[in-house]
Amino acid sequence: MSDGVVGEFHLDEMEDPSGVEDLADDVAAAVEEIESNGFKFAQKKGDLLHFIKANSDDSFYSTTDLRDVLKVASSLKLGVLEHEDLLAVFDRSNDMFEFPVRSYRRPASRYRWSPPQKECDHDFEGSEEGDSFHLTGENGEVCIEFSTGTPLVEFLYSIHVVPRMRRSRTHSVKVFGNSHEGKSLEFEKARELVDRLLFELDAAHGVHITTMPRVRRLIRLPASRTPNPPEVRFPKVRVPREVSALFSFAGEAADNPPFMFLAYYQALEYYLPHAASRGGLKAIRRELRALTFDDKSDASVLRVLNCIERNRSANEEDQLKTLVSECVREDVLHEFIASPENLKHFSKGGAKLSIPFINLKSTSETLAIQVAKRIYALRNRIVHAKDDPKYAESSVLLPRSKEAGLLDKDIQLARLLAIEAVIDNQG
């Protein structure tokens, strides 16, 4: 069930539904217009009209009030453009972008504002409670407004944005271009302005308000499935407190896939120095055991010194390659990547994440090296700003983006690597 919303009505929960024949002529015409835009009228209950989106498996209703149905129909008739990633629309009837917003600390309608005097001709009277404001940009080129959401937004996103008790609509941020000058405002420009406003409200006033993703991207790690209850044992594995805390946090970050990935990566990162040192020691021992080693030969001694120097200058990616190669069992890694549910995701043509794919048939790189390169590239996409020239080829991976919803398999892979690292570093 969605957080604090109404509109989640199932058919078997409705009693005495009313049909379209019970509606006034203008309302019935509005219902027909809404149906022509991909919605099916379900029923009238009290003052609410409920619709189901056509060709949708969703069992939830889009809902509008009788007093708003004409406005909704009018907006849909003139054309509405919805964003593919955010809950956001461009309403041609108002020449306006609208972004529903959510506040996790307290309802957005409960904040009070003291904005400057309005300097444009947009219709805005504010409210006696002071819970809204309208701001005009320089030279009047664009306006931005924080106020009660429109009937259209309430209808399109009922299950996301309508308060449970319907005492008031949710708030939204609206962006208006300068239509008098014939200038149309592009979505990315409107989104940038909304982001700037919400940043300043948070940074300057401690008011945390966010836009809303179209899909809540939850990552659920698959539980082990056994026919019988699993047996538990007295814990034998020794886990550093830091690693244990990171594992715990990862489990709590189900609605923030990049954070979940980073938590497992940080648990893995804990073991990087030790793995790098172990790799260096292995290389040194190899040189010392070589049949050609001669402690009186400068060349032999220099080869040992070079091993030490390479280990000391190894960067984080090289350390990760060593860790995966040294600490992760190859058969376990191969089994995970090659499993039917995972193979397509990691292969060429799999999830579009702009990171290296994995080729199980590669003869130029081991599976461990390929996995380390992929994990490190994904880590860079999450933690590095996209204007850093070093990482210019791939932009930052944002928490609420569509890409974030593709991370489930890579999160499971990072988790597996961290578990293997813990097991390998016992004793």
Q: What is the mean pLDDT of the chain?
A: 80
pLDDT exceeds cutoff 70 at 8: no
Measured distance CA(419)–CA(323) in Å, rounded? 12
Least confident interval from 239-243, 270-274, 282-286: 282-286
Least confident interval from 6-10, 378-382, 385-389: 6-10
Taking Cα atoms as reference points, which of 33, 81, 46, 39 lies closest to residue 60? 39
Burial profile 74-98: b = 16 or more Cβ within 10 angstroms, e = fewer: bbbeeebeebebbbbbbbeebebbb
Q: Per residue in 221-266, pLDDT tens?
A: 766 566 777 777 778 888 889 989 998 888 888 778 999 999 999 9
pLDDT exceeds cutoff 70 at 387: no
Radius of gyration of the chain (CA): 29
DSSP character at residue 175 = E
Q: Per residue in 323-347, pLDDT tens?
A: 999 889 999 999 999 999 999 999 9
Greatest mean pLDDT range, 8-22, 61-75, 208-222, 370-384: 370-384
Higher-confidence residue of 173 and 11: namely 173
Higher-confidence residue of 360 and 236: namely 360
